[in-house]
Amino acid sequence: MKAKEIEILKNNGIDTLYQLILRYVAISDDEWKYCQSKFSSSYFPKKTMLLDQNQVCDKIFFIASGLLRIYFSDERGEEKTFHFCMENTFATDYESFLKNIPSNFSIQALENSVVIIVTHEMLQSLYVTLRDGEKLGRLITEDYFFMLNEKIKAFYMHSPMERYKAMNIQFPGLMQRVPQYYIASYLNISPVHLSRLKYTLKKKNPNG
């Protein structure tokens, strides 16, 4: 990627974050100028590791463009995909970040990605400086709480087919961007089972 293209993507990333913040709270021009002076964004080529399992996760990543994967290795060394992080969402191990403890997860770029990095120091300064900083923090935490809550309800209450359908709603277009074995691992089913689900749906809705 050329330097100029990266620069455009970075600026675009900052604008995207601005739009996201506005969905939660009001923010004045001065406040936003302050934010801009704090935020920095980085370009990570496909396959870059942004966090290694057992490392402390000391950053929150806002994905301006690209795609990240959060995963872990189980006791048999098998990789399990925990979450996909698409454009305009955050990726982090929030517990590791807040408690300064080793993470159980790894985070990797599945595509070339432009990511805005938020550190502890930046987050604290936003909480203190923005009039609605704490509120912004609360509302975003609530949204990620909902995400975990859905995940747990899916475990208890939803069939693999329902989980597959929910995944396609949560991550539109993901199926075309990601190797199928990551998808199967995310759904906690075998790749063969995943093929069968796709086949069943296709038979029901051949033009879908």
* 203 CB neighbour count, 10 Å cutoff: 8
Q: Which residues bind a copy of itself (CB under 8 A)?
A: 72, 74-75, 80, 82, 94-95, 98-99, 104, 127, 132, 134-135, 137-138, 141-142, 144-146, 148-149, 151-153, 155-157
Q: What separation, in Å, do the N-terminal and C-terminal C-alpha atoms of the chain show?
A: 35
Q: Is the distance from CB of 112 to CB of 43 less than 8 angstroms?
A: yes
CB of 73 to a copy of itself, least distance (A): 10
Residue 153: burial class (beta carbons within 10 Å; 0-12, 13-18, 19+)? exposed
CB of 75 to a copy of itself, least distance (A): 8
CB of 141 to a copy of itself, least distance (A): 5
Residue nearer to a copy of itself on the CB measure, 145 or 199 = 145
CB of 151 to a copy of itself, least distance (A): 6
Residue nearer to a copy of itself on the CB measure, 82 or 111 = 82
Residue nearer to a copy of itself on the CB measure, 49 or 101 = 101
Residue nearer to a copy of itself on the CB measure, 5 or 134 = 134
Tokens representing 169 are: 């709603």
Alpha-carbon gap, residue 172 to 185, rounded angstroms: 18
Alpha-carbon gap, residue 128 to 143, rounded angstroms: 21
